[in-house]
Copies of this chain bind each other. A is one copy, B any other.
Amino acid sequence: MDQILRINMGADGGPSVRTEPLGDYAGAGGRGLTSAIVSKEVPPLCHPLGEDNKLVISPGLLSGSTAAMSGRLSVGCKSPLTGGIKEANAGGQPSQMLGRLGYAAIVLEGQPKEKTLYKIVINKDKVDIQEDNSLCMLGNYDTVDKMKSEYGDKIACISIGPAGEMKMAAASIACTDMELRPTRHAGRGGVGAVMGSKGVKVIVIDDDGMKMRQPQDPEAFKAANKAWVAGLKKHALTGEALPAYGTNVLTNVINEAGAYPTNNFQKGQFEGASNISGETQAELEDARGGKGASTHGCHRGCIIRCSGTFYDKNGKYVSKQPEYETVWSHGGNCGIDDLDAIAQIDRLDDDYGLDTIEIGAAIGVAMEAGLAEFGDAQAAINMVKEIGKGTPLGRTLGNGAAVTGKTYGIERVPVVKGQAMPAYDPRTVQGIGVTYATTTMGADHTAGYSVTANILDVGGTVDALKPEGQVELARNLQIATAAVDATGMCLFVAFAVLDQADTFQALIDMINAFYGLSLTADDVTELGKSILKNEREFNQAAGFTAKDDRLPEYFKKEALPPHNITFGVPDEELDQVFNW
């Protein structure tokens, strides 16, 4: 995994391919590599959909190895949603397979002069780029099916749906799971629109003939991996709650905390929460799909297995188990408590290639604008279908909550840097509010998941309702997350890593054994800081200031029921997050 595969989609005479060694980027992987390449090579003021932007797809440092949980793929670019740097990541199979093929990154550059769609097929022998306009406006499911019929079922796919082709700022990039379904998405920031702007519909990856990546010190690696797995199994969240109920285990927890944004962030508790909780969902999935339907991994090597499969009442496959964020965005945030409707929308989002968080937030704003009543599931389904068709309303929604709010003159628009907030109200989880406000990514829970100490008592406890201690919490988590995102590890390992020093050490031991290094915990911190530094510098060069590190005004003015409090962390403290 020491090669960068550069594909110039705008080369004279058609796309050109070259591979080059990592060079200056040696030692970087995942988000570390995507953010390094974007911050070094993309002009900060370029148009995100123009030829100067680059789409960087990078497996993590441990992807392609036998390390458990190492299957995350990072996707980076200048975001058409935020105008800043973006790293979105996804599970599924592609990361491990790209790692085994030896690619530390694929970089899509330039753009075709004509409106032509391409597929890129990568195997151990070659990189083949073919025009294929028959894929035009196909959903991700049909696209993958077509690739399967052409290239067999041992492949993995990275693809975009109609939303990416239409260059919508909420367009995602789909990665196929173990069943070769396009269910794992690099969702946020419109990365799919950038792939669409490069004219690339699908990247087919075939690692046939390649082996697992080999560590420098196989024995030490094996031992560390064993300790790693044991640590993850031991922790209550990664060993029990997530396998049993998936991410949606959070619905009841967050709702009880009064932090569950309901009806476009108008209140913090949803009366229909129990109807869409993880517990209800798991029971329904197991009843319809058979015992175990609710516990499934998104990629080989996953031992948490927080996913599952959602079937309709006739036992027919609908979608993968909708995640907590999706159940919230299309559920409580729109006043909808119908799991079947939510799963149907999840399938549509996956098929069109849409970020479920951004789309649910956009529909919430549209409901606030009076386009439908909160709670009207059929109206929400219809709106998502409009996005897939690219109708005028669909174009608006497909560009996210900020554009929808602007288009309809709505003040209550829950975004930071143009990106919609996830499923935790920053007034009642003030630590996540600090992360939303300050992360380089626009509102993003995964960038520094303060819900840990604020609500879950993981990695310590910080009172969620008070401003004190939130800046330090969000700072430390943002640094740690940036480092984790470089490894290819699923972020859920953080629960065990934060609570169990020996599990954190096992991770460091694995990296050291794999690369023949002797990193310490401090080195990991430095890695995280260096990634954030690259990202902050890009954003500053793109015109971002401290004024962009703010929540919308209404979070400071409108008290959220039931706790009736506002966001209280002062601006001056927000400005200290990156003062380490």
Contacts and interface: CB of A to CB of B under 8 A. Distances in A.
Interface of A: 43-47, 49-50, 52, 80, 166-169, 193, 196-197, 391-393, 395-396, 399, 403, 406-409, 411, 541-543, 545-548, 550, 552-554
Nearest to A556: B45
B553 A45 contact: yes
Contacts of A46: 553
8 contacts: A46-B553, A47-B552, A52-B553, A168-B409, A392-B396, A396-B407, A403-B403, A403-B407
Q: How many chain copies does the complex carry?
A: 2
A545 B83 CA distance: 14
A393 B167 CA distance: 17
Given A47-B411, A47-B554, A553-B46, A406 B545 contact: no
Nearest to A370: B115
Contacts of A403: 403, 406-407
Contacts of A52: 553
A86 to B, nearest CB: 16
B545 A50 contact: no
A362 to B, nearest CB: 12
Contact of A406 (B399, B542, B548): B399
B553 A43 contact: yes
A550 B45 contact: yes
A408 B395 contact: yes
B49 A409 contact: yes
Contacts of A167: 408-409
Contacts of A393: 392
Contacts of A196: 409
Contacts of A169: 406, 409
A411 B406 CA distance: 19
Contacts of A166: 409
Contacts of A391: 392
Contacts of A392: 391-393, 395-396
A393 B395 CA distance: 9
A545 to B, nearest CB: 5
A193 to B, nearest CB: 6
